[in-house]
Structure 1
Amino acid sequence: MVYSPTVLPAEPFDPAADAQALKTAFKGFGSDEKAIIDIIAGRTNAQRAEIATQFKTMFGKDLIKELKSELRGNFEDVIIALMMNPVEYQAKELHKSISGLGTDEKTLMEILSIHTNEEVVAIKDAYEGLYQSSLESDIKGDTSGTVKRLFVSLSVGGRDESDEVNKELAYQDAQALLRAGELMFGTDESTFNMVMCQRNRPQLRQIFDEYEHLVGHSIQTAIENEFSGTAKEALLDIVHCIQNQMDYLAERLFKSMDGIGTDDRTLIRIVVSRSENDLGELKNVFEEKYGKSLSDWIRSDTSGDYKRCLLAIVN
């Protein structure tokens, strides 16, 4: 990850003045959306939390509830996402991907695969606190088979996080994957699960290289040959994220806007959650990959205050 935030701490910063400005923006018929965007999108998450504290101290009201009562639609969603504690926000996004009709496996995979062990454990703890149910039990209740085992393994937050690469072990794992898949009738999914969810990221990249040297085609081709449906898609997503996390997220952003309609949840989640980390680098990867800037895609695919807020975060 290249540390390249697009949202930086406001300096000077006066949380009481910001709280007063927001209160003023809520007055009268409608609200002053530009003022809301300037303040909320122009502060870090920690600064927004300070503003919320001052707002409640000064006016005896919860800022998030006030924002929800003033705003609507996707604009409301992006502003509330900015206001939330980042760990709780990811936990809520996981819950949305599991609850209701069907399962959003793509979102599950995104959240569980891009975060560190420490972050996954924190999200898992927040999930249990919010919903009085463990993430693991909810995954088990909503998925099955190979996909269930993959998501349960990823939700543990137990991947080796060292940067050590052992070429001999990589060669052995590549052979094990070959024996578990293309050299046998049927597929031993447990071997794929163990390797993909346990080995560290540089080691996995070495394993993928060794596999290609052994058989003459990529690990992706092997997965295409051996798996189908949701299991295939989940494994391909893991490989993509391991090989190049920025490219994986750029593709997620592109697919959220490409075609008919917009997957606003995914667009908001990635833009907001990467804004204080590596959104600057993600923008560069996106433009290089798709030949058009992320800002231009947002301009052509969204509208109104929602568009203006997203552009304020991105730029």
Structure 2
Amino acid sequence: MAASYCEGTVRGCGPEFNPEHAAQAFHKAMKGFGTDEKAIIKLLAGHCNDQRQEIKKKFKVMFGANLEEELKGELSGHFLELCQYLLMPSRYFDAWCLHKAMKGIGTKEIRLIEILSTKSNSEIQTIKTEYKKLFGSELESDVVSETSGHLRHILVSLIQGNRNEEQYMNSDIVRQDVQDLYEAGEKVLGTDEAVFNKVLALRGVGHLQEVFKLYRQEHQQDIEAVIASETSGDTKEAYLAIVKFIKDPPAYFAECLYKCMEGLGTKDERLMQIVVDRSELDLKDIGEKYMEMYKKALPTAIADDTSGDYRKLLVRLTNPN
């Protein structure tokens, strides 16, 4: 389910990219007394993910050590965590985030929803492969054991990675889906979540956009309002995430970032993971939407809610380079 917006804030180096020079710069930033955090920030934010993977390989050949392990000996806290995120290959990172959301006490359902509801079929399949290699278990099995009820059903549906991605749209099926959703929700006492599950997890992006428009035309009710009134808890959050992402990906993630920073305390882990995930895809668009929705620049909002070198790197990642 790839976003239709595609301008990120991190574009990487052009023809001048030299992994050997970058590896040498990392080594220089860490050798001797003290660590040059400013240089590390510049190196990480100035290269795209594919380039970082090349730098990691070159670093190991040149210095006989893993770059991640060397950084672990020099850095700590959220700054180290954010650096580690940036050095992970993209789908490896998704798999790692999904596992982290489920391990320990309690499951961070919101992260499962954010990741699984915003990936394309091919990305889902790669995530499942990476997850099995990393943790020795199936993603679906772990999600089933860590979730329950209708949330489990929608997440398992999304894990199949079988959304219709064809451009062709059948207006008869669009109309039938609108009728099915109405009969499963507003028309009856109680909600048939299986119908919402089928439509939201199986249909393509363009098809769903037409379904949402036609639903409003025929029933004078936005599908988000229907979901909010007919469902509850994590199931409601999952359905709303899918709908909001389908309608407007930057607006969806702008809202997610805002929720990371609203109120007392910052949800640092979620904030970092979203910024890293979207930095090469649509974070510039997300930043513009954030300003439109909340009347504040995203880098400024992050600077106001974080601190130290962690803040400097996050702000650098949210500023187009």
TM range (shorter): over 0.9
Deviations 1:5-55 (A, max 9, x none): 222232422222222222121123331111111112211112211221121
**1:296 and 2:272 correspond:** no
For 2:161, give the aligned amino acid: G
Moved more, 192-201 or 166-175: 166-175
CA distance in 1, matches of 2:17, 2:51: 8
Cα deviation for residue 210 of structure 1 reads: 2.2
Contact 1:40 1:82 in 2 (8 A): yes
* Closer/same/farther in 2, CA of residues 276 and 224 from structure 1, 3 Å limit: closer
Match of 2:170 in 1: 166
- Given candidates 181, 186, 189, the residue that maps to 1:182 is 186
**1:9 and 2:12 correspond:** yes
CA distance in 2, matches of 1:14, 1:185: 63
CA distance in 2, matches of 1:170, 1:54: 51
Contact 1:42 1:312 in 2 (8 A): no
Contact 2:250 2:283 in 1 (8 A): no
- Given candidates 106, 111, 116, the residue that maps to 1:102 is 106
Cα deviation for residue 213 of structure 1 reads: 2.6
Match of 2:197 in 1: 193
Alignment of 1:129-140 (within 5 A): 129-140=133-144
For 1:127, give the aligned amino acid: Y
Contact 2:216 2:222 in 1 (8 A): yes
CA distance in 2, matches of 1:220, 1:313: 31
Match of 1:113 in 2: 117
Match of 1:26 in 2: 30
Contact 1:16 1:54 in 2 (8 A): yes
CA distance in 2, matches of 1:138, 1:56: 33
Match of 1:271 in 2: 275
Runs of 5+ consecutive residues of structure 2 not aligned to the other structure? none
Deviations 1:143-175 (A, max 9, x none): 111111100000111000123333322111111
**1:53 and 2:57 correspond:** yes
CA distance in 2, matches of 1:243, 1:231: 19
Match of 1:215 in 2: 219
- Given candidates 86, 99, 120, the residue that maps to 1:82 is 86
Q: CA RMSD in A?
A: 1.4
Contact 1:120 1:157 in 2 (8 A): yes
Match of 2:32, SS? coil
Q: How many residues align?
A: 315
Deviations 1:240-293 (A, max 9, x none): 111111110110111111111111122111211222222111111111111111
Cα deviation for residue 185 of structure 1 reads: 3.0
Cα deviation for residue 86 of structure 1 reads: 0.9
CA distance in 2, matches of 1:303, 1:2: 30
Contact 2:5 2:249 in 1 (8 A): no
Report % sequence identity. Answer: 43
Match of 1:158, SS? coil
Cα deviation for residue 184 of structure 1 reads: 2.2
Match of 1:114, SS? coil
Contact 2:118 2:242 in 1 (8 A): no
Contact 1:92 1:127 in 2 (8 A): yes
- Return the TM-score normalized by structure 2: 0.94
Runs of 5+ consecutive residues of structure 1 not aligned to the other structure? none
